[in-house]
Amino acid sequence: LALASSSKHRCLQSGAAFRRGLGPTLDFGGDEVEVEVNDSLMRFFDHCAKFVALVEENDTAMGQVNAFKQGPEMKKVLEKVASALCLPVEELNADLVQVAFLTCSYELAIKNVTSPWCSLFSEEDAKVLEYLNDLKQYWKRGYGYDINSRSSCILFHDIFQHLDKAVEESKSSKPISSPLIVQVGHAETLQPLLALMGYFKDDEPLLANNYARQARRKFRSGRIVPYAANLVFVLYHCDHVNASQQEYQVQLLLNEKLLSFHHSNETTSTYADLKDYYKDILENCHFKEECELPQANVTAVDEL
C-alpha cells in the first residue's frame, strides 16, 4: 500500500482512517503504513503560479459569479429571505444568504437534522444557490479557464506512471510493487482532474445570464465532488484475450459508480486505447510550462 496525502489535517486523518478500514487481514505492509505528505500532487493548485496569480488572487476572474450575485434570480431570493427575517433587503447580500443556506445544508448532510435556516428557502431558492456555487466551481476549478484543469496534469501523469509501472511489472512476471495506491486530497484536487479528462462538460459555459438554460447541466459540483468524493482507476490483467492489446484493461469509478470512457462510451477500455485517447495530455501537458506566469506584456484575459 502506498498512501499519500495533502498536508491538511483532515486529509491525513482520512488517509489513516482508510488504512484502518482495510482491516488487518489485508497484507499491505502492516497497520502502521506511513502516510506520505505530497502537496505537489494533492495541492498542485497552490504550486501553480499562473493559477494563483490569474485565478485565485485575481478579483476579475470571478466576474460571472459576482454578476450572478447581482442578477434577478439572486435578487428574488434576497427579497424573500429579507421578508422572512423581517429585515430591510439592503441589510442582506448574496454572501450572507449563502452562509445561511450552507448552514442548512451542512446540518442536514452531517447531522441529518433540519436546521431552522432551511425554512428560509424553497426548492427553487436552493436551485439558485446551487447554481451560484456551481458557477464558482466552474470558473475556479472547472472549465472556466484552461489553467484550472491544466494545472492538474502533474497528478494525471502520476496516475499513468503508476499504471505503466504495474503493466511493465506484470509483463516481466514480477510482483506488482504497489497493487494499491491511495492519494487523499480535496474536492479542489479532483474537480480540475475530471475537467482535464473532459468529464461533465456542457455545450455552453455556465454564465451569470444563462441560469434557466443550464437547468439540465452536467456540471453540478455537489454531485461530482460530494463529501468523501473519490476517483478510482482499476487496472485488470486479462489472460484469455484475442489480441495482446486487450491484455490490460481499465475501469474508472467516480464515487463508487462506473464512468463511461469518452472514446468508446463503454465502462471498460483497453489500457492502450485509454493512453491513446489522452495522448496529447500525456505528451504535451507539463506542469512547469503550464504554470509559468505569462510575460508582463500579456494581459490576464488573453492568457486565460
Give me the phi and psi of 294, to 5 degrees please: -65, 160
Q: What pTM value is reported for the model? A: 0.93
Q: Whose CA is closest to 155, among 6, 44, 274, 252? A: 44
Distances (CA, A) of 73 to 44, 83, 129, 132, 154: 35, 16, 9, 10, 39
**Mean pLDDT within 149-174:** 97
Q: Whose CA is closest to 277, among 198, 162, 169, 161? A: 198
Q: Whose CA is closest to 145, among 294, 295, 296, 297? A: 294
Of 24-38, 66-80, 224-238, which gets the smallest average pLDDT?
Answer: 24-38
Handedness of CA 190, 193, 198, 203 (dihedral sign): positive
Instruction: Please give the pLDDT value at position 31.
Output: 55
**Mean pLDDT within 61-82:** 98
Helices (H), the chain: 9-22, 39-42, 49-51, 63-69, 72-84, 94-106, 123-140, 146-150, 153-171, 187-196, 221-224, 271-277, 279-284, 287-291, 300-303
> Is 90 exceeded by the pLDDT of residue 101?
yes
> Is 70 exceeded by the pLDDT of residue 32?
no
Q: With bands split at pLDDT 50, 70 and 90, how would you rate the model's confidence at 243? A: confident
B/e letters for 120-152, b = 16+ CB within 10 Å, e = fewer, are: bbeeebeebbbbbbbbbbbbbbbbbbebbbbbb
> Is 80 exceeded by the pLDDT of residue 42?
yes
Q: How far apart are CA 53 and CA 153, in angstroms?
A: 18
> Is 60 exceeded by the pLDDT of residue 300?
no
Q: With bands split at pLDDT 50, 70 and 90, how would you rate the model's confidence at 75? A: very high
Q: How far apart are CA 218 and CA 204, in angstroms?
A: 11
Instruction: Please give the pLDDT value at position 33.
Output: 72
Q: Tell me: the pLDDT tens digits for 267-287?
A: 999 999 999 999 999 999 999
C-alpha cell recorded at residue 9: 489535517
**Mean pLDDT within 166-191:** 96
CA 54, chain centre distance (Å) = 19
> Is 60 exceeded by the pLDDT of residue 136?
yes
Q: What is the DSSP letter of 292?
A: S
Architecture of domain 38-303: 3-Layer(aba) Sandwich (3.40)
